[in-house]
Amino acid sequence: MEESASKPVSDQPASSDEQKLIEAVQNGDGRAYGKLIRLHQKRLFRFVHGLVGSFDQAEDIVQEAFVKAYQAIGTFRPGFAFYPWLSTIARNLAYNQIAREDKKESLENLQESGFDPESAQLGPLEKLLNDEAQGRFYKALLALPAKYRTVFVLRHFEDMDYNEISIYLRIPPGTVDSRLFRARQLLLEQLKDLI
C-alpha cells in the first residue's frame, strides 16, 4: 500500500495561486504553507474521516499528513496540483491506521471470548449525529474492507470519476468499477432494512 509521496498521482495542473504558494513554501516561507493548509484542510478531513470513521483519528492523520507534506515539499514536482499529492500521503497514513486497528482487533478477538464489535463506542462525531440512518450508514461504511471503502469514498465523498480514481489508486478502471460495485452491494446488504 505504501507509495512514494513524491510521485504525482494525477496530471491535474496546479492553479497559478496554488503554484505560487508551493514555490514560496519550497523557498522557506512558512506562512505560505499555512495558506495551503487552510486551502485543503476541510476537504482532506472529509476524505480521511470517510476512510477511518473516527473524528479524533481523522484529525490526527490530517495533521500528520500536513507535517509529512511540509517535510517532503522539496520533492514536490512543480506544476502539479497539491491536493492529490497531499491526499496520497493522508491515504497511506489512514491505511496504516486501519491496518493497526485491524491487527489490534484481531489480537483482542484471540484474547477475549465474546467480543462484540456491535458494542464498540461511537466517536464524538457519531454521537452528534441525530439521524439513526446516517449513523448506521457510517457504521456500515467502516465495516467495508479498506479497498472497497476507499473507492466508495473517492467516488461519493470526493466526487472523483472512475478514471480519476484509477489514476489516483494506480489500479485499472475495471478494478475501480468492480470494487465500487462490491462496496455498494455490501452496503445494501447491511442497510437493506432502511431501504
Higher local confidence (pLDDT), 103 or 147: 147
* Separation between Cα atoms, residue 68 and residue 87, nearest integer Å: 11
Please tell me the predicted confidence (pLDDT) of residue 192.
80
Q: Hey, how many other C-beta atoms are within 10 angstroms of the C-beta on 118?
A: 5
* Separation between Cα atoms, residue 57 and residue 49, nearest integer Å: 8
Looking at the fold, whether 23 and 113 belong to one and the same domain comes out as yes
Query: Residue 13's beta-bridge partner residues?
Result: 80
DSSP structure string for 53-81: --HHHHHHHHHHHHHHHHHTGGGSPTTB-
Q: Which amino acid is at 147?
A: K
| pLDDT > 80? residue 5 | no
pLDDT band at 183 (very low <50, low <70, confident <90, very high): very high
The pTM for the full model equals 0.62
* Separation between Cα atoms, residue 94 and residue 90, nearest integer Å: 6
124 is a domain residue: no
Determine whether 56 is exposed, middle or buried from the number of CB atoms within 10 Å of its CB (0-12, 13-18, 19+). exposed
> pLDDT digit string (tens) for 32-81?
999 999 999 999 999 999 888 888 899 999 999 999 999 999 999 878 88
| pLDDT > 50? residue 86 | yes
What CATH number is associated with residue 162? 1.10.10.10
Split into its structural domains, the chain has a count of 2
For 14-42, what is the mean pLDDT? 90
163 is a domain residue: yes
Please tell me the predicted confidence (pLDDT) of residue 191.
80
184 is a domain residue: yes
pLDDT band at 101 (very low <50, low <70, confident <90, very high): confident
What letter would DSSP give residue 119? G
Range of the domain at 151: 129-195
Choose the weakest-confidence range: 2-11, 18-27, 168-177: 2-11
The answer to whether residues 53 and 142 touch, using CB atoms and an 8 Å cutoff, is: yes
Please tell me the predicted confidence (pLDDT) of residue 37.
93
> pLDDT digit string (tens) for 122-181?
444 344 334 566 778 888 888 899 899 999 989 888 888 999 999 989 999 999 999 999
Q: Which residues contact 132 (CB under 8 A, 6 or more apart)?
A: none
